[in-house]
Structure 1
C-alpha cells in the first residue's frame, strides 16, 4: 500500500507539473503601455482626463482580446505623474523606460514632452503626445516623436486669422505664461497677427503658477486693446479672464487649447463667455466616433471629458495598431512600423509626416455661452 501511495503521489505531481506548463504556455503576455501627464497640481484635471482616455482604450482592447504574433496579449496601463514639470517629466520618462513599456502616450504639456523625448529617443521607444503643440517637439530629428494634435504653428495663425477676419480685431495685447507651450503659442499668434495688420500694443510674460493678474490687467486696460491673447493653461487663463472682467476690461480674451477646457467656466465664472479659444483637433461632436466615445467615457468615469481624452484614447490604439502590423511587442519593431500608420479612430484619420506630425490637422474655434462650450468654426489644414 505504501508503494502504491508513493506511485500515486508521483503521478499526481507529474500531472500537476504538466498542467502548470500547459497553462504557462497559454498564459497571456503582459505588455505595458506608458502614459504620462500632470496628475497632481493645478492642471491635474486635464492630466486625469488624458489618463482616463488611455485607460478606457486599454480596458476595451483587453475586453475584446488581443493577439500579437500568435500570442494572447494583455495590456497594462503604466501611468506616471509628471506634475507638469520638466524635471519631473524626465524622471517619469525614465521610470517608464525602466518599466519596459512598448510605447508611451505623453506628455501633455510641450514643456514636459520636449525634455522627456530625449529619454524615449535614447531607449528607442515610440512617444505619441496627446496634447503637445509646440513645433519644436517634432523638429528635433528624433524618429520616436509623434503627436495626434495640430501644432502651434497652425493653431496660433488660425486664432489670429479668426480674430482679424471674424472679430475685426485691430489692436491686441499679448500675455503668456513663459512655458514652452504658452510662449510658443503666443509667439506664433503674434507673427500672424502682425502680418494681418493687427497692432500688438504690448506683450507681457507671467508664469504658470500665477493667480494675481491685476497689475498686468490694469496696465492693459489703459492700452484699451480690442482683444487680449493669453498663452497658457486654464488654471491661470480662467482667473486671468475673470480678473479682466472684474477690472472692467472690455476686450475679448483669445486663447489656445490649454484654456479651452470643460472646466473653464468653473475657473473664469461668467467671464468664460468673453473667451474665444482654439483646439488643435476636431470638435468632439464632429469627430467620427466622438459622440459614442463621450457616452462610453461618461458611463465609465461618471464625469464629462475635458479635452484630451479622445486623443489619448486613439494614441493607445495607434501603438497597438503598430504592434499588430509588426506582429511583435518588441519596442524596436513597433517603432519601425509607426511611419506607415494609417489609422481611423475616434478623432478621425491619423497618418504622420516624416517628422511625426499629423498629415491632415484641424483647428476648432470655440466660445462659451451660459457656461457651455460652443463651436464657432473649423479650420482644416
Structure 2
C-alpha cells in the first residue's frame, strides 16, 4: 500500500512538471542616464516615472501577439557622459536585447543616434533639443516639446518686467549650450544686451559664489540660468544672497518646485519663468497622477520628468501591442503615434496628443511664472500674444 501511494505521488509530481507552463515573456526597456553626481535627482525622476509605468502595465496585464508580456526597466548610470551612454547602449542591446532605450540628455541621445538605426533599436529621447528630430533618425521619439517654443515667451516676459541687460550663468553641458545658442540671439534681436557670459559646471560644482559674483559685477537685470534642479537652486540662492534683485529665465531642465526646495520656498524665485511644476498643473489628469505618485513614493512630489517618461513607457507598451511584436523596433516605432492617441487620461498626465512626422510629441505646453511668491500657470500662446 505504501509503495502504491508513493508511486501515485511521484506520478502526480511528474505530471505537474510535464504540464505546459505559461510564464510571461520578459521585455526589457533600457535606460541610460545620470544616477550619480549633480544630476542624480534628475536621472532618478526619469527612472521613477518609467518604473511606475512598467509596474502599472504589469499589474494590468499586457498581451502581445497572443503572449503574456512583462515589462522590465534595465537602468544603467552614465553620469551624464555621452561616451558612457554609448557603452551602456551596447550592453543593453547585447545583454538585455532592449528594443528601446530611454536617454534623458542630448549628448547621450546624439551618441546613440549614430548607431541605433543600424542596430534596430528605438531611442526614446527625453530632451527638447530640436536637432534630435531634425536629423531624420527614423527610430527616435523626442518626448518633451522643443525648447525653442519657450525662447520668445521667456525673452518677452523677463525683458518686459526687469530690463534689457542679460547675464548668462547656466550650465556648461551640451543641452545648456544649445539653449544658449537660441536664447542669446533672441535676446539681442529683441533689443537686449548680453552683459556677461559665464557658464558653470553644474554637475560637478557645489559652490557657485565666484561664478555668480563674476556675472553680477556686470549689473544684469535678468539671469539666464539652468541645468539640473538642485545646482540651479544653489545658483538662485547665491545670486540673491549676493544682492541680485532681478528676474530669472530658467531652462526647462530645471524644475522650479525642486529649485524651491533648495531656496526654502518661491520667494527667492520672484520674477522667474520656467517649466510649470506638475503639482501646479490644473488639469484633472495631472492632479490624479500627482496623488498616485505621492502614495507610492513616500509623499514625494513628481516632476515633469516623472510624468513625461511615465507616459512614454505606457505608450511604448501600447505600440508593442498594436505592432504585434516586442522585438521589431521598426514596427513598434510605426505605431507610436496611434499609441499616444490611445492613452487613457490616467496614463497621460502631460497631455500628449500624438507624434508628429519628425518623431516629436505634440502637446499644449504650459509654463509657470513666479509672482508674489507664488507660481501662476500660463500658456505659451498667452505669453506670445501679450503686449
Task: Say if 1:90 and 1:119, in contact at 8 Å, map to a contact too.
Answer: no
Matched, 1:189 2:183: yes
Structure 2 counterpart of 1:235, from 210, 230, 244: 230
CA distance in 2, matches of 1:197, 1:350: 36
Task: Say if 1:134 and 1:180, in contact at 8 Å, map to a contact too.
Answer: no
Q: Could you say which residue in structure 1 is the equivalent of 2:93? A: 97
What does 1:154-193 align with in structure 2 at a 5 Å threshold?
Answer: 154-165=149-160, 167-193=161-187
How far apart are 1:70 and its partner, in Å? 1.1
Name the SS for the 1:296 alignment partner: helix
CA distance in 2, matches of 1:17, 1:233: 53
Matched, 1:379 2:353: no
Distance 1:338-1:157 versus aligned 2 partners, 3 A rule: same
Matched, 1:289 2:285: yes
Task: Say if 1:366 and 1:376, in contact at 8 Å, map to a contact too.
Answer: yes
Task: Say if 1:97 and 1:120, in contact at 8 Å, map to a contact too.
Answer: no
How far apart are 1:75 and its partner, in Å? 1.3
Q: Could you say which residue in structure 1 is the equivalent of 2:335? A: 337
Q: Could you say which residue in structure 2 is the equivalent of 1:60? A: 56
**1:282-335 Cα shifts (integer Å, max 9, x gaps):** 775234511111111111111222331001100101111211111221233212
How far apart are 1:269 and its partner, in Å? 4.1
Structure 2 counterpart of 1:248, from 238, 243, 246: 243
CA distance in 2, matches of 1:3, 1:341: 59
**1:165-195 Cα shifts (integer Å, max 9, x gaps):** 4x25322112232211111112211122222
Matched, 1:70 2:73: no
Distance 1:277-1:3 versus aligned 2 partners, 3 A rule: same
How far apart are 1:5 and its partner, in Å? 9.4
What does 1:1-381 align with in structure 2 at a 5 Å threshold?
Answer: 12=12, 15-19=15-19, 22-23=20-21, 26-98=22-94, 99-104=96-101, 106-130=102-126, 132-165=127-160, 167-208=161-202, 209-269=204-264, 272-274=268-270, 276-279=272-275, 285-302=281-298, 303-332=300-329, 333-338=331-336, 340-343=338-341, 344=343, 345-360=348-363, 362-367=365-370, 374-380=375-381
Of residues 87-96 and 203-212 in structure 1, the stretch that sits farther from structure 2 once superposed is 203-212
Task: Say if 2:171 and 2:201, in contact at 8 Å, map to a contact too.
Answer: yes
CA distance in 2, matches of 1:180, 1:280: 23
CA distance in 2, matches of 1:194, 1:183: 17
Task: Say if 2:57 and 2:317, in contact at 8 Å, map to a contact too.
Answer: no
**1:337-379 Cα shifts (integer Å, max 9, x gaps):** 2355442422113312222112345141333876xx6234221
Name the SS for the 1:253 alignment partner: strand
**1:131-188 Cα shifts (integer Å, max 9, x gaps):** x1222222222111112211122222331122234x2532211223221111111221
**1:234-272 Cα shifts (integer Å, max 9, x gaps):** 233222222211221222222112222432123334664
TM-score, with length taken from structure 1: 0.87
TM-score, with length taken from structure 2: 0.86
* Number of aligned residue pairs: 372
Structure 2: give runs of 5+ residues left out of the alignment: none
Distance 1:248-1:272 versus aligned 2 partners, 3 A rule: closer
Task: Say if 1:54 and 1:313, in contact at 8 Å, map to a contact too.
Answer: yes
Structure 1: give runs of 5+ residues left out of the alignment: none
How far apart are 1:10 and its partner, in Å? 8.6
Task: Say if 1:322 and 1:335, in contact at 8 Å, map to a contact too.
Answer: yes
